[in-house]
Amino acid sequence: MRQIKPLERYGYADFICYALNAAEELQDSEPRNFREALESNESKDWLKAMNEEMLSLEKNQTWKLVSLPKNQRVVGSKWVFKKKEGISGVEAPRYKARLVAKGFTQVEGIDYNEIFSPVVKHCSIRVLMMIVNMYDLELEQMDVKTAFLHGELEETIYMQQPEGFVEDNTKVCFLKQSLYRLKQSPRQWYRQFDEFLVKAGFVRSDYDSCVYMMRKNEKVILYLLLYVDDILMASSDRQEIQKLKKRLNDEFEMKDLGNAKRILGMDIMRDRNKGELFLSQQGYLRKVVERFRMKDSKVVGTPLGHHTKLSIK
Amino acid sequence: MAGTPYASGVGSIMYGMVCSRPDLSYAISVISRFMENPGQMHWQALKWVLRYLNGSLKGGLKYTRSQPGMDALEGYVDADYAGNVDTRKSLSGFVFTLFGTAVTWKVALSTTQAEYIALVEGVKEAIWLKGMIGEMGISQGCVKIHCDNQSVIHLANHQVYHERTNTLTFVCTLLET
């Protein structure tokens, strides 16, 4: 009698391969909620991360514990966990826990009104690059740590106490400052930052509300572009940039990234001797090509084949 | 072709187009029309774009210092009358360069007189850009917008655009035969 064998491709090696993949996924996976964090092998690290987050929220005076007034809505809250892989042997992995509000439970007109928040236009970035290159300006970059925690709330919002850190069962958090994932967080952050810049003497552009300028004297202008929490600064005077950085640092907690190298996935390459500036997305596009397994494809010279007259059918 | 990552591919390339690759605008505008129900032909077109990308990964925008006497801002508009096979809609597009390097670009579909719409879109962009660069310290008097359609040039130089011809002169050259 003919023996039926399983197909070659379902062989033993494939099972091993699958198992390894699955194991890797399990190992790498971050806890999805508070319970999983406690049950994971790294529960100690997660607890520590949560304690850190609680401390910074307390320092920031994000909320006040109050008893819930009658007929008031409560917005949920949850923990989000992120593990940043370090380099083995050199840098330990970092564990991050962030408390977020369940923004999807917010109701328009009660929990939030306006939520639009502008970001800088790509065109403005390119115009700035042009100017930077033409006048050989210094171009530096910073980003704001926990930007959204800086906004102040206009609406009255009550939120559940964070899981695992409930102090008094009968009370809820009355939010004074915004929190990640609240609908209005981006807007409130933008307003906060805008207010600071205007007070610092910057003028907001009429053409792009994320472009700011300050004329120091006849020769020196300070440019500042804002993309949510990414900041580009340009000026001919290095001192002025340093001063601005210090002021920003005093007001918000910032991370100094030095000379700008990447903005919005674009690599900025400069050759100041030659007076050239190059914007490209080589790294990003290579990844895209590899993801679609087209790395070894035959190269063509046009973006679309001239014979492809495409239609719906 | 359901289940293929068509939309994902178009989106990934689109991000490149928006940031630093104006050369992909037209291709994206074509392949992104079929997101809802892509067929084999469309998937092939997408792969063609990826092959083109594979050979031009290093491409991007290069900014150099300007030569004296060069116009700061210059625009180019064009249209493809009723080029769309399915809807007979027209395509219009523009590119603006600042000292020779592209700073803004767009390709869009429209239903009306394509060439004229292209010019209008271009002028709208020019007004914004002129203000923007003026604020940032580059002064520009008139903005040259290049256009290759005689009737539009005629129309633009007369009636409708009177209030704007003060700030924008249309220098029209034949870009294509």
- B54: nearest Cα among A299, A281, A279: A299
Q: What is the pLDDT of residues B104-156, one digit of tens each?
A: 998 887 766 667 778 888 888 888 998 898 888 888 777 888 877 666 666 66
Contacts of A122 in chain B (CB under 8 A): 18-19
Query: What's the pLDDT at A210?
Result: 95
- B42: nearest Cα among B50, B52, B31, B51: B31
Q: Which of A131, A288, A310 minimises the CB distance to B137?
A: A131
CA distance B161 to B165: 6
Query: What's the pLDDT at A1?
Result: 62
Q: What is the pLDDT of residues B1-14, one digit of tens each?
A: 777 899 999 999 99
Does A277 sit within 8 Å of B103, measured CB to CB? no
Whether A257 and A142 have beta carbons less than 8 Å apart is answered as yes
Whether A197 and A84 have beta carbons less than 8 Å apart is answered as no
Contacts of B37 in chain A (CB under 8 A): 312
Q: Does B27 touch chain A (CB under 8 A)?
A: yes
Query: What's the pLDDT at A300?
Result: 92
Q: Which of A122, A278, A299 minimises the CB distance to B18?
A: A122
Q: Which of B18, B37, B132 minimises the CB distance to A124?
A: B132
Does B136 sit within 8 Å of A279, measured CB to CB? no
pTM strictly above 0.90: no
Q: Does B62 touch chain A (CB under 8 A)?
A: yes
Percent of chain B scored above 90 by pLDDT?
A: 30
Whether A284 and B37 have beta carbons less than 8 Å apart is answered as no
Does B57 sit within 8 Å of A289, measured CB to CB? yes
CA distance B46 to B32: 9
Give the residue from chain B lying closest to A286, CA to CA: B57
Tell the residue number behind the tokens 């704001």, with chain if given: A144
Within chain A, residue ranges assigned H as helices are: 12-28, 34-39, 43-59, 122-134, 185-199, 238-251, 282-291
Query: What's the pLDDT at B28?
Result: 92
Whether A139 and A132 have beta carbons less than 8 Å apart is answered as yes
Give the residue from chain A lying closest to B11, CA to CA: A288
Strands (E), chain A: 63-67, 74-75, 77-84, 94-101, 138-144, 158-159, 171-175, 203-204, 211-215, 221-227, 230-235, 254-259, 262-263, 266-271, 276-280
Residue B87 has pLDDT above 70, yes or no: yes
Angle at A88 between CA A83 and CA A93, to 5 degrees: 20
Q: Which of B52, B59, B103 minimises the CB distance to A127?
A: B103
Which of B12, B20, B64 to probe by mutation at the A interface, max A CB count within 10 Å? B20
CA distance A281 to A16: 37
Q: How far A192 CA lies from chain B's nearest CA (Å)?
A: 24
Backbone angles phi, psi at A199, to 5 degrees: -65, -35
Q: How far B147 CA lies from chain A's nearest CA (Å)?
A: 22
* ipTM > 0.95 for the complex: no
Give the residue from chain B lying closest to A298, CA to CA: B51
Contacts of A280 in chain B (CB under 8 A): 20, 58-61
Does B47 sit within 8 Å of A292, measured CB to CB? yes
- SS3 state at B105: strand
Give the rounded distance of the alpha carbon of B112 from its chain centre: 17
Q: Which of A123, A280, A312 minimises the CB distance to B58?
A: A280
Q: Which of B9, B24, B85 minimises the CB distance to A311?
A: B85
Q: What is the pLDDT of residues A69-100, one digit of tens each?
A: 988 889 999 999 988 877 777 778 889 899 99
Between chain A and chain B, the number of residue pairs with CB atoms below 8 A apart is: 170
Q: Which residues of chain A have pLDDT under 70?
A: 1, 4-28, 306-308, 313
Across chain B, mean pLDDT equals: 80
Give the pair of three-digit tokens for residue A157. Answer: 């919002």
Which of A282, A285, A290, A306 to probe by mutation at the B interface, max B CB count within 10 Å? A285
- B108: nearest Cα among B88, B89, B127, B123: B89
Angle at A274 between CA A270 and CA A276, to 5 degrees: 40
Tell the residue number behind the tokens 């700011």, with chain if given: A212
Domain ranges of chain A: 12-291
Q: What is the pLDDT of residues A1-39, one digit of tens each?
A: 677 665 555 555 555 556 655 555 555 578 888 998 998
Query: What's the pLDDT at B154?
Result: 66
Does B63 sit within 8 Å of A276, measured CB to CB? yes
- SS3 state at A128: helix
Which residue type is seen at A114? E
Does B59 sit within 8 Å of A280, measured CB to CB? yes
Element (H, E) at B101: strand B101-110
Q: Which of A282, A299, A310 minimises the CB distance to B34?
A: A310
Element (H, E) at B77: strand B73-80
CA distance B19 to B16: 5
